[in-house]
């Protein structure tokens, strides 16, 4: 059997003494479809933030792709995807700002090398007049 893609054992997180994640355990195998469901305030976002390495757990252990997200996040982040709850891009930023922001969240900032060259995008990278879409 292969190593799980995600392994959570006894995960807990407290905010102000209140448990928002309490002894959560689950395993996700590579290629498996997994959903973390629950009402608002159930700890779903907190759990995902812990799995991404952006938040520290108060108890338990987590591994993602065999790595500890807090201690080995530098090696993990380039291997995982990230999507905000409310959608992809912020409407008030330019395409160039978006191209700089998201790689920074992973591991390697966009330095301008490899500037967008798809028709209709390259000339609009610095304009704030909406999303960069081909004409």
Select the CATH number that applies to the domain covering 6-78 from these four: 3.40.50.10470, 3.40.50.300, 3.20.20.70, 3.40.50.620.
3.40.50.300
| 76 backbone dihedrals φ, ψ, rounded to 5° | -80, -45
Residues of the chain with CATH 3.40.50.300: 6-78
More confident residue, 11 or 2: 11
Q: Are 12 and 59 in contact (CB under 8 A)?
A: yes
**Range scoring the smallest mean pLDDT among 23-27, 60-64, 93-97:** 93-97
Measured over the CA atoms of residue 106, residue 109, residue 115 and residue 120, the dihedral's sign is: positive
More confident residue, 110 or 56: 56
How confident is the model at residue 133, as a pLDDT? Answer: 47
| 38 backbone dihedrals φ, ψ, rounded to 5° | 165, 165
Q: What mean pLDDT comes out for the span 21-41?
A: 93
pLDDT band at 105 (very low <50, low <70, confident <90, very high): low
């Amino acid at each position: 059997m292969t190593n799980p893609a995600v392994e959570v054992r006894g995960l807990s997180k407290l905010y102000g003494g209140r448990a928002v994640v309490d002894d959560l355990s689950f395993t996700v195998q590579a290629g498996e479809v997994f959903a973390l469901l629950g009402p608002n305030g159930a700890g779903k976002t907190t759990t995902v933030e812990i799995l991404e390495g952006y938040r520290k757990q108060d108890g338990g252990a987590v591994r993602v792709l065999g790595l500890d997200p807090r201690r080995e996040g530098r090696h993990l982040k380039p291997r995982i995807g990230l999507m905000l709850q409310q959608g992809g891009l912020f409407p008030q930023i330019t395409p160039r700002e978006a191209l700089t922001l998201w790689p920074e969240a992973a591991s390697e900032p966009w330095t301008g090398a490899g500037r967008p060259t798809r028709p209709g995008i390259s000339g609009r990278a610095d304009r704030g007049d909406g999303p960069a879409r081909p004409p």
